[in-house]
Amino acid sequence: MSLIGFYARKFRTLIALIALFVLIKAPIVNAQEESQSVEPEWIQLFNGQDLTGWTAKIVGHELGDNYADTFRVEDGLLTVSYADYVPEDFEGGFKKFGHLFYKDKFSHYRLRVEYRFIGQQCPNGPGWAFRNNGLMLHGQDPETMELNQDFPVSIEVQLLGGDGTNPRSTFNLCTPGTNVVLNGKLFLPHCTNSSSETYHGDQWVTGEVEVLGSEIIRHIINGKVVLEYTEPQYDERDGYAQKLIKDGNLLISEGTISIQSESHPTQFRKIELLPIKPQDKSDK
């Protein structure tokens, strides 16, 4: 074999080895790129059929006792119903408030709901609870709630419907056992209004809440931020909250999600959640 032929054969062998290496490595690189490009998907917390994944906690009843089928699914809608209540359930100083808890805890996410108020308020329901419900976020584990505890320690996105005449904002903030920092200052009052429009009647309303751990929470209606605050935290003055504080840390970075039953029938046709990576902060 000539010297030229020898080197030509060596060169062809080298080229074949390089091609084989590229073929072997290419699927691995593509798989890594594909894995990195996968975007989080919306999680349907309500499946449109039943209450799978949800557990009721009604005042005066053990966890899991869905008194009078308060929370039910009717025509594919998650419904807060008082059809089987009696006037005594909201009579005197005792109020049979309730909450429906989702099974998982969350920290960084965007929550989207479609809801509406319907029908008449339950007899003897408090005046402030007329067309009133709430999304309880960063909430305590329902297992830790006391039998007659009215509300879980949580950050409440208050849902309100109009009375047909007067202005009444929705996606407000209430703070059972908690505080937040609003406009740079620790906010101690129980509730504050958003800048949303009023939604009268039985119309459907779509809203979102962006929750970034203990950093910031934004209330959003039709793509517009109507309320924003930071540093959700336990209120040291509250007896229920005191039992949840660990090592003096007041900030709340995660928790349960629940919806309320406060005496006015409410329906939800969508409750979905989009996980957010902690480093992905919205510019909205």
Quick: pLDDT tens for 211-253: 999 999 999 998 999 999 999 999 999 999 999 999 999 999 9
- B/e letters for 126-160, b = 16+ CB within 10 Å, e = fewer, are eeebbbbbbbbbbbbebeebeeebebbbbbbbbbb
pLDDT value of position 258: 98
- Cα 144 to Cα 40: distance, rounded to the nearest angstrom: 31
Strand-strand pairing, 77-80 and 266-275: antiparallel
User: Comparing C-alpha atoms, which of 66, 65, 62 is closest to residue 146?
Assistant: 62
pLDDT value of position 216: 98
Across the beta sheet with 132-139, what order do the strands follow? 54-58, 98-102, 256-261, 132-139, 155-160, 172-174, 191-192
Mean pLDDT for 106-112 is: 98
Question: Which percentage of the chain shows pLDDT scores above 70?
Answer: 84
Reported confidence tier of residue 146, pLDDT bands at 50, 70, 90: very high
- Cα 92 to Cα 12: distance, rounded to the nearest angstrom: 93
- Element spanning 216, H or E: strand 216-221
Reported confidence tier of residue 94, pLDDT bands at 50, 70, 90: confident
Residues 6+ apart with CB under 8 A from 252: 138, 155, 178, 214, 232, 233, 234
pLDDT score of 15 more than 80: no
Q: Determine the length of the chain.
A: 284
Q: Domain 43-275 adopts which CATH fold?
A: Jelly Rolls (2.60.120)
Quick: pLDDT tens for 221-231: 989 999 999 99
Residues 6+ apart with CB under 8 A from 73: 48, 49, 50, 51, 79
Residues 6+ apart with CB under 8 A from 253: 107, 138, 213, 214
Quick: pLDDT tens for 29-67: 454 544 455 678 999 999 999 999 999 999 999 999 999
